[in-house]
Chain A
Amino acid sequence: MNNEKTTIIAAGAVIGVIASVLVLFGNPVNMGFCIACFIRDTAGALGMHRAAPVQYIRPEIIGIILGAFCMAFFHKEFASKGGSAPMTRFTLGFFVMVGCLMFLGCPFRMIVRLAGGDLNAVLGLLGFFGGVLTGVFFLNKGFSLKRSYRLAAWDGYVLPAVQVVFLILLIAAPAFIFFSEEGPASKHAFWLISLLAGAAVGALAQRTRLCMAGGLRDVVLFKDYKLILGFVAVFAAALVTNVVLTLVTGTPYVNFGFAGQPVAHTDGIWNLLGMYLVGFAAILLGGCPLRQLVLSGEGNTDSQVTYLGLLVGAAFCHNFGLASSGEGPTANGKIGVIVGICVCLIIASLNTFKKGDK
């Protein structure tokens, strides 16, 4: 157990350093890593939405899925499984993205933003914890999306194979793939650096089961701090790396405060509610967006369907004006988050065991 704890802290520290160093290599400030933003950028690059500043096939996402795939395959943990309420998972993935694009970041970026001094993320963290508590309430009452089953062997390979296609499209850059010329998605590290960074994060997260939602869930359910220590390590390592980068380069990588934070807004209530939705849905799904990518790489087609929900959700948010910007949230985004919380409550209630207490 102690070995497990040491491993996850070390992995979290490496991931935190990677997240900060990616900014040095060109990623947007406080966005060395963001699963939601990077899936959104990929959706834009594929033409699923036409928000010009956020279109780029992010190699980090490809790397995470393929890194987890290789690690699982090497350790004989890859298995094609699925069949556990796929459409419900698609819907939950969709609304996870609605919540993330209200806050402007996934749970991983929430930690990265905190390490960059963005105090708006404190509100996000409070909301996320509230969402996790709500999800745990339903878990204890009997919530289940029912069991998964072993599937045809090739089924679990589909999403990793699609990621290889995305990588080819990124490198070949055919005319039908969009590349932002300004805005967050125009800022990125060289593709091979991003790919290798993603692969390292995916491999480490597969070995350690790193998961922000799972970490908080285990603290609440079992007073078990192993998983959450991984994210504490991500925060500490990213903060220290940001301070070192500030001292070495003279460019501020840490800036404590609420206003003027990169790719963030200061509407506390909606930062909180956006991440409440993410925390709630992530517990119902059994993991945060990072964890869904890692499970996708392990051959879990339920998580692959969740990835599709995230991808479609990102396109929907930008096509219909739900995504926040540095200016703040939109009216459509607020409606989307409220609808998302209601949908999560309905899904949680409908899938909660009701027959006796045995």
Chain B
Amino acid sequence: MNTFYATFYSHFGAIRFKRLCDDRGIPAVLMPVPRSLSSSCGTCVRFEAEDFAAVRPYPEEMEQIARAEGAGFEVCYRAENA
């Protein structure tokens, strides 16, 4: 199981994604974006899954998905022109 962080262009985008995860039985929590992931200070969703593809299709409001790698992150998906 991997830990992923999804960031969004709006707080409500994160809320809706959290609901989508809940509906699919994917453990997820809303939280502020960790500083080590981004210099922006919005809302992100931390979720646990084998593969980030579990949350496809990616919502329009999603900016990126990053996988937690030790103390850092590896970006797995980034919205076009983000």
Contacts and interface: CB of A to CB of B under 8 A. Distances in A.
Interface of A: 1, 4, 72, 75, 77, 84, 139-150, 206-209, 211, 214, 218, 221-222, 224, 226-227, 286-287, 291, 298, 353, 357-358
30 contacts: A4-B36, A72-B39, A75-B39, A139-B11, A141-B12, A142-B12, A143-B11, A143-B12, A144-B9, A144-B10, A144-B11, A144-B12, A144-B13, A144-B61, A146-B9, A147-B60, A147-B79, A147-B82, A148-B9, A149-B82, A150-B81, A206-B39, A209-B39, A221-B30, A222-B32, A224-B31, A227-B41, A298-B39, A353-B12, A358-B19
A260 to B, nearest CB: 37
B9 A147 contact: yes
A208 B39 CA distance: 8
B34 A143 contact: no
Contacts of A226: 32
A4 B34 contact: yes
B19 A221 contact: no
Interface string B10-22: 1111011001100
A304 to B, nearest CB: 15
A92 to B, nearest CB: 15
Contacts of B39: 72, 75, 77, 206, 209, 298
B41 A147 contact: no
Given A1-B34, A227-B32, A358-B16, 6 more contacts: A140-B12, A150-B82, A209-B41, A221-B43, A222-B30, A286-B42
Nearest to B41: A209
A84 B10 CA distance: 11
Contact of A208 (B35, B36, B42, B79): B35
A140 B32 contact: no
Contacts of A298: 39
Contacts of A147: 9-10, 60-61, 63, 79, 82
A244 B31 CA distance: 39
Contacts of B40: 209
A267 B80 CA distance: 50
A210 to B, nearest CB: 9
A331 to B, nearest CB: 37
Of residues A77, A143, A145, A221, which shows the largest number of chain B Cβ atoms within 10 Å of its Cβ?
A221
B11 A221 contact: yes
B10 A143 contact: yes
A148 to B, nearest CB: 7
Nearest to A353: B12
Nearest to A7: B35
B29 to A, nearest CB: 9
Nearest to A78: B39
A250 B20 CA distance: 62
B12 A218 contact: no
A139 B16 CA distance: 12
Given A139-B11, A139-B12, A144-B9, A287 B30 contact: no
